[in-house]
Every structure is written in C-alpha cells, then in structure tokens.
Structure 1
Amino acid sequence: MKGTWSYTSNQGHEGTLVVRDDGTWTTTQWGGISGRWAYRDGVLAVPSLEGSEAADWQQRALTVREIPEEISPDLSQTFPLVPAWAEVGGDGDGDLNIRVKGKTVRLSFGSGQRSITCTRA
C-alpha cells in the first residue's frame, strides 16, 4: 500500500497521504503531519506522534493484526484492532474492514461510523 493516495473521510477530512518504503508517511492535512509505520509478523502499526520510538510500539500505535503480507486487488476482509483503539470506530467495536477495488481502498472502523476512502494517485 506504499505510494501516494488521495483520501476523504465521512468525518470531513481530506488530503494527500504519501506512504514510503523507508517506514515513513506524510499527509497534507493538519499542517502536514508525518510519522512512521511498521509491518512485522502480520501486524501493521502506525505509532502515535508522541513516543513513536517507544519500546511498546504495539501498545502506543494504531495497530491492525492479521494483515497478510500481500494485499490482493479484490480484498474485502475485517481485521482486529488493538483493544486500546476500539474507540476509533466511534461505537466501541474494535474492527477495521478493508475493501480494495482497483486503485481504491475503503477503510471502515467499527460498524462503519467512521470510514476513509483512499484512491491511488
């Protein structure tokens, strides 16, 4: 999922996200914030902006478990989030549904109260 993406959310957020091979990302939103990401043993983690070098990276990060190493172009699957991030869904449901169709990826948190649509630039 590395590359440049345009995104919009049902919460009114929009911008451009760049995900790099070196484990970094940047976005045009919120004044151009940036951070790191890591993938290890089926766990994708995006550490919080504070303490991103913490040893407990899985606890201080938006963490999605059971992510396959290769993402198929027609993926539609639900993955568990780390329990501490269950509120991202807005309803206490700690799941992330990922649907891939062509150049578009839709992320739905919880029961879909929060969603982000990303399109590869």
Structure 2
Amino acid sequence: MESCEKCLLQLIPQCLSAAYATLGTHPFSRIDVLIVPSNFSSLGMASPHIIFLSQSVLPGGSHLCGTRLCHEIAHAWFGLAIGARDWTEEWISEGFATFLEDIFWAR
C-alpha cells in the first residue's frame, strides 16, 4: 500500500496527462489500475477499462513504475482501440506502445 501511495498515485495523473497531450482523449470511458501479485505473468497488461500492474514494478521507483504505466496506457490506443488482425501482428502494437512510453515519460 505504501509503495502505491508514494509512487503510483502521483504517476497516474502525470502519465495520463502526457498521453492525452500526445494522442488526445482516452478511447475508453474509464480506466482503473489493479496491482497484481509479483508472480503475474508479465510486468503489466492492458484491457479496455483496466490496467494490471505487477507488484514487482513498485519497488523499482518512479522510473520503472512510470514507464510501465505509460506503456500500458499507450495500449489503450494501440492494441485495444486499434488492434492487430491476429497474434502474428502483435509486434506492431507492442512497438507503438514501447515507442510511446518514452514519449509520454519524457513529457
């Protein structure tokens, strides 16, 4: 809880603001963040109305937590609102999300 309060609660508005400044209005009506156990299969995952973040990114400080949050926010546009035809093209949405995480984080 302390890690979330110290790090994540400050980062969410900043990361969303950077995303909105770059791409415009969020494509979905709501976004929640759920912290999942460290043994979750990845560091993060995005669904239309929820972002799953692994507990393992919280102790990494604001940079690791923030860049992962930015990456998952980017998936709202690239991967969810606009998606690949099938899993053979998943690299496209991952590529855009990885590129945009740096753009958002720099802002």
* TM-score of the two chains, using structure 2 as the length reference: 0.36
State the TM-score, normalized to the length of structure 1.
0.33
Relative to total residues, which structure has the larger strand share, 1 or 2?
1
Greater Rg, structure 1 or structure 2?
Answer: 1
- Give the number of the structure with larger relative contact order, counting CA–CA contacts within 8 Å between residues 6 or more apart: 2
**Structure richer in helix, relative to its length:** 2
